[in-house]
Structure 1
Amino acid sequence: MRLPSRFVAVFTAALLAGCSSGPDFERPAKPTATGYTPETLSLRTSAAGGPGGAAQTFVPDKDIPGEWWRLFQSPQLDTLVREAMQANPDVDAAQASLRQARENFYAQQGGLFPTISGNGSGQQQLASPASQGQSGSATIFGVTSASLNISYAPDVFGGVRRQVESKEALAEVQRFQLEATYLSLTANVVVAAINLASLQAQIDATQGIIRILENSLTVVRRQFDLGGASRADVLTQEATLTQTRATLPPLQKQLAQQRNQLMRLVGRSPDRDRGESFDLARLVLPQDLPVSLPSQLVEQRPDVRAAEAQLHSASADIGVAVSNQMPQFTITGALGFTSAGISSLIVPGSGVWSIGLGIAQTLLDGAKLDHQRKAAVAAYEKAAAQYKGTVLSAFQDVANALRALQSDADALRAQVEAERTAAASLRLSEQQYQLGGVSYLTLLNAQQTYQNAVIGRLKAQAARYSDTAALFQALGGGWWNRSDVDPKSMGKPGYFALPPVQEIKLPRAGH
C-alpha cells in the first residue's frame, strides 16, 4: 500500500523543520513595586558617637561591588573571605554539581544526532552429513560479517529539543545555586568575624566590670572594718561580683564555638585555628549602602534566578510529555559485508545494505502518557508557586534589613547615651559613697546599670555591622561583578570520544 502523498509531504516538512511540543517558556513579569515598605523610609539613618556610630545613607540603584566585604576595611577579614572561597568544601560541591549538570546537558544534546555503531562477527563450524542422515566426510564452513549501523530518531515533534532545553535550565539552576553558595559563605564569614569581635569585646568589658566590682568590694570591706558598712553590704557586694563572674564562662563558650564555626567556613578543622582576632573598634561601618529596585532584585538574587531556571525546566518537561503522546519515528540503516570467511570478506558481491523507516504510536496505555503530561503541568504550577514564594522571601529579606539598619542606628545612639549617663552616675555614686553621702544600695544599682549599658552598647554596635552585611546578602552580594564559576565547571560539548581505555585496569600477573 502506498502512503498518501499528503502524508509524505507533511512528514517530510516536519522532519526537516521540526515542531515544538508544549508551551514556549516566558520569563515571569518583573515586579512593578518601587519600594519594600508601605511608607517611604528615610534615606539616612541617625548617627551616634564612637565606633560603628556613623550615619548610613541608602543610595537607590547603586551597584554592589563583587567584593562588598572589603568595605569594612579589614585586611584580616579580606584574607579569611578569600580563604573560604578557595577552601570551603561546600563551594567545591557546588562547582561539581554544576559540572554534573552541564555534562548531563551535553549528553542530552547527543539525542539530536544519529547513532553510528560498528558490528563484526565470525563463525567457523564443522558440519557432519550424518546429522542429515547422509554419509560422507564432515565439512567446515564459516560466516563472517562486518557492518556499520546507523539509527536516528527524528525529533519531529520537538520532544528531544525540549529535553535538551530542560537539561540546560537545570544546569542554570546549579549555576545560580553556586552563586547562592558563594553569597551565603561570604556573608557567614563576615558575620562570624563580627560576632567574634563582639563576643571578645563583651568578655573584655565584663572583665573590666569585674575589676570595678572587686575594687568596690575592697572599699566595702574596709568600711565594714571601720564600722561604716554592714555585713549585709559586704555579702551583697560579694554576690554581685560572683554573679558577674558567672557571666564570663557562657561568653567564652560562645566565643570558642564561634571560632569553630569560622574554621569550618574557611575550610579548616578547629585544631588549625591560627588565632585570628577582630576588633569592633577597628571595623569601618560602610556609610553609602545600595538599595536596588524590586525589578532589579529579581535579577540579582541567585535564589530567585535558580527558581526561575527551575520553572523553565518544568515548562520544557511539559513539552517532553506532550511529545511522548505523538507518533515516534525512527530511521535505521546498515552498510557492510558478509561472506564465508575473513579472506573473502571484501570482495565484489559481498556488500550488503539496508534502510528502514519505523513509526510507532501508542494507542492504549491506560491513559499513562496523559497522566504523565498532567503531572508535568502540575509540576510547572508547583514551580511557579515556588518562584513567587522565593521572590516574596527576597523582598522580605531586603525589607527586614532596611528596617533593622534604621532601628540599629537609633538603638546604638540610645545605648551610647545610656552608657555615658551610667558611667557618670557610677563615678558620682562611688565618690558619694566613700564620703558617706549615699547608701550602698545606690552604689550597687549604679554598678549594675553601667554593666548593662556597656554590654548593650557593644551588642548594638555589632548589630549595625551584622545587619549591614545582611543587606548586602539580601541584595544579591554583587556576584555579577565577580567570576565565581570555574571554567572547568562549564565543560564543552563533544561530538566524538573514544572509550576511556586509560581508566581500565587489567589484572596483574599472579593476581
Structure 2
Amino acid sequence: MTAPVTLRSFAVTATAAFLAACAVGPDYRAPEAPAVGLYTEKPQPEQTEAAPVRGGEVQRFEAGAKISAEWWTLFGSSELDNLMRTALTSHPTLAAAQAALRQAEENLNAQYAVLYPSVDASLSAKRQRITGAAFGNPAIPTNVFNLYNASVSVSYSIDLAGGARRELEALQAGIDFQRFQLEAAYLSLTGNVATTAFREASLREQIRATREIAESQERQVQLVEKQFALGAISRVDVLAQRAQLAQTRANLPPLEKALAQTRNQLAVLIGKFPGDAGLPQLDLSAFQLPQNLPLSLPSDLVRQRPDIRAAETVLHQTNARIGVAQALMFPQLTLSGSYGGAATSTPNLFDPGSRIWNIGAGLLQPVFHAGQLQARKRGAEAAYDQAFEFDAVALKAQAEAEAAARESLEVTRAQLQFGATSYLALYNAQRQYEQAKIGLVQAQAARYADTAALFQALGGGWWRRGDQDPAWPTLAK
C-alpha cells in the first residue's frame, strides 16, 4: 500500500504546484518578524518594586513564559470569573463577529464552485404558431403545434490565468481576517471587563476612604466646638474645621456618580441591562496580584496579537486581488455542451429521432475597455502598498506617602492636645493624609489594571484556548 499512497501524494503535490504556477499575480510572502529583542533602550528589570500594602507584592517577569488563555483567573476572584463567563456568552459584539466569520466561510464555500463544471437540467413545454411568411414564403399554410424540450447542459470555465484561484485565495484571507477580528473582539472584551471591574472596586474603596475621613473630621469638629465653648480657641478655627469637613463631603457625590456610571458600563460589557444585571459589589482587597508575569519577545508578539495578524491578512487579501485583476486581462476559455430531446408530443420526446445535442468552446480576449482593466490592476497594487510601563514604583511611593501622612496626622493631633502646635498645622496634616489615602487606593487599582493591560497587550493567550477550530493556526511552542 506504500507505493499508491506515495504516488497519490506526489500527484496531489504536483497538481497543486502546477496550478499555483499557472496563477498570475504575485505570490504572497508574509512579512518578516522584526529582529528586536528589547522593548526599550534599557533592559527590562527582572522584577517590580515592592510596597508594604495590599497589591504591592513583587511581580517577576518571565521572558518567553506561556500566557494563560484565561489570564483573568490569576487575579483569584470568583466574582471576576463569573463576570467574564457572562460577558463571553451574552455580549452582542462577539455574536456579530462570529456571524461575520460564518458569512466569510460560506462565501468561500460558494466560490469553490468555479473550480468544477456546472450541470443544469431543463424541461419546457410551449404552444407555437408559425406562418410561412416567417420563412419568406407566405404560401406555406399556418401551422399551430406543441413543442416539448428536455435537456441536460454542462458548462465549464477553464481558469487559464488563475484568476478564480486568486479569488479563492483572497476569500480564504478574508476568513482569516474575520477569525482574527473575532479574537480581537474577545481580547478587547475580556480586557475591558477586567479593567472596568478594577475601576468599580477602586471607586468603591475611594468612597469608603472618603467617608472614613469625613467621620474623622466630624469627630474633630465636635472636639473643636467644645474647645471653642471653653474659650480655648477662636471661632476662625471652628469655621476652618467645618469648611474642611464640607469639602470632604463634597467629594462624595462625584465619586458616587462615577461608580454608578462604571457599574452601568460593566453591565453593558456583560450584555445585560443595568437594571437587571445583578452585579456584585467588588472589593479591591479581594483581588490577588499575579506574581509571575509573562513577557514575550517583540518578534513573537507580532504573531500573538490578533490585531496585527488581522492587518497581515488584509495584506494577503490585497496581494491576491492583484492576481484577480491581472487575470481579467488574459483570455477566458469556456467549454459547454448539452444533450436532450425535442418533440411535438411527450411520448416522442425520447425517441432516437428527437434527440438534440450541441458542444462548443468559447474564447474571450479583452481587447479594449478604455483602460478599465489596467486601472483595476493598479488600484489593487495601490491597496497592497497601503496595506507597558508598570506602576510598581508609583504604588510604593504612594504607600510610603500615605504612611508618612498618617503618622504626621497622629503626631500633630497629639501635639495639639498638649498645646505644642496650632490648628493650622492640624488642618494641613489632615489634608495631606486625605490626599495620600485616596492616592494610595488609585495606585493600587492602577497596579491591577496595568497587569490586565499587559496580558491584553501580549495577545491574551487566545491560541491556547480549548475551543479553537483544529484548522486554526497555532502558536503554541
In the other structure, the counterpart of 2:458 is 475
The AA in structure 1 aligned to 2:397 is A
Q: Following the alignment from structure 1 to structure 2, what is the Cα–Cα distance between the partners of residues 140 and 260? A: 78
1:207 aligns with 2:211: yes
Letter matched to residue 161 of structure 1: R
TM-align CA RMSD:
2.0
Aligned to 1:96: 99
TM-score (norm 1): 0.85
Q: Give the Cα–Cα distance (whole angstroms) in 1 for the partners of residues 418 and 337 of structure 2.
A: 111
Match of 1:53 in 2: 56
Query: What's 1:429 paired with?
Result: 412
Residue 364 of structure 1 and its aligned partner are, at CA, apart by 1.3
Deviation at 1:343, TM superposition (A): 2.0
How far 1:176 moved relative to its partner?
0.5
| Cα distance in 2, alignment partners of residues 149 and 377 from structure 1 | 39
Go from structure 1 to structure 2 and tell me whether the alpha carbon gap of 1:349 and 1:453 turns closer, same or farther (over 3 Å shift): same
Q: Counterpart amino acid of 2:87?
A: A
CA distance in 1, matches of 2:140, 2:463: 87
Q: 1:442 matched to which residue of 2?
A: 425
Q: What SS does the corresponding residue of 1:117 show, helix, strand or coil? A: strand
**Residue of structure 1 aligned with 2:69, choices 66, 70, 78:** 66
After TM superposition, which residue ranges in structure 1, 4 or more long, deviate above 3 angstroms? 125-136, 483-487
Instruction: Give the AA of the match of 2:424.
Output: L
Within 5 Å, give how 1:284-299 maps onto structure 2. Answer: 284-299=288-303
Instruction: Name the structure 1 match of 2:10.
Output: none
Secondary structure in 1 matching 2:352: coil
TM-superposed deviation, 1:473: 0.3
Say whether the 8 Å CA contact 1:95–1:485 is kept in structure 2: no
Aligned to 1:41: 44
Provide the C-alpha distance between the structure 1 equivalents of 2:351 and 2:411, rounded to a whole number of angstroms.
Answer: 117
Listed one character per residue, the Cα deviations across residues 357-377 of structure 1 (whole Å, up to 9, x for unaligned) are 111111111111011101100
CA positional deviation for 1:345: 0.5
- Aligned mates of 1:133, 1:267 — CA distance in 2: 79
Structure 1 residue 486: deviation in Å? 7.8
Aligned-pair CA distance for 1:140: 4.1
Equivalent of residue 174 in structure 2, options 170, 192, 213 = 170
Residues 1:340 and 2:334 aligned together = no
Q: How do 1:266-281 residues align onto structure 2 when only pairs under 5 Å count?
A: 266-281=270-285
CA distance in 2, matches of 1:201, 1:237: 24
Name the SS for the 1:45 alignment partner. Answer: coil
Per the alignment, residue 397 of structure 2 pairs with 414
Distance in 2 (alpha carbons) for counterparts of 1:382 and 1:133? 69
Q: Aligned equivalents of 1:257 and 1:241: distance in 2?
A: 26
Tell me what 1:315 maps to: 319
Larger displacement relative to structure 2 (229-238 or 67-76): 229-238
Q: Corresponding residue for 2:357?
A: 353
Unpaired stretches in structure 2, ≥5 consecutive residues: 1-14, 473-477
Q: Structure 2 counterpart of 1:269, which letter?
A: F
**Distance of aligned partners of 1:102 and 1:436 in 2 relative to their CA distance in 1, 3 Å threshold:** same
Return the match for 1:301 from 305, 312, 316.
Answer: 305
TM-score when scaled to structure 2?
Answer: 0.91
C-alpha distance in 2 between matches for 1:126 and 1:168: 53
Aligned twin of 1:161: 165
Deviation string 1:248-300 (CA, Å, 9 cap, x unpaired) is: 01100110011011101111001013140221112100010000111211111
1:150-299 alignment to 2 at 5 Å?
A: 150-299=154-303
Cα pair 1:145 1:345 within 8 Å, conserved? yes
Kindly state the Cα deviation for residue 192 of structure 1 after the two structures are TM-superposed. 0.9
Sort the Cα spacing of 1:133 and 1:159 in 2 relative to 1 into closer, same or farther, 3 A.
closer
Please tell me the residue identity of whatever aligns with 2:327.
S
Aligned residue type for 2:45 = S
Give 1:481 shift: 0.9
State the AA in 2 paired with 1:108.
Q
Counterparts of 2:298 and 2:233 in 1: how far apart (Å)? 66
1:135 Cα deviation from its structure 2 partner:
11
Distance 1:130 1:35, change over 3 A: closer
Aligned length in residues: 452
CA separation of 1:129/1:478 partners in 2, compared to 1, >3 Å: closer, same or farther? closer
User: How far apart are 1:130 and its partner, in Å?
Assistant: 12
CA distance in structure 2 between the partners assigned to 1:129 and 1:237 by the alignment: 117
Residues of 1 paired with 2:97 and 2:337: CA distance? 43
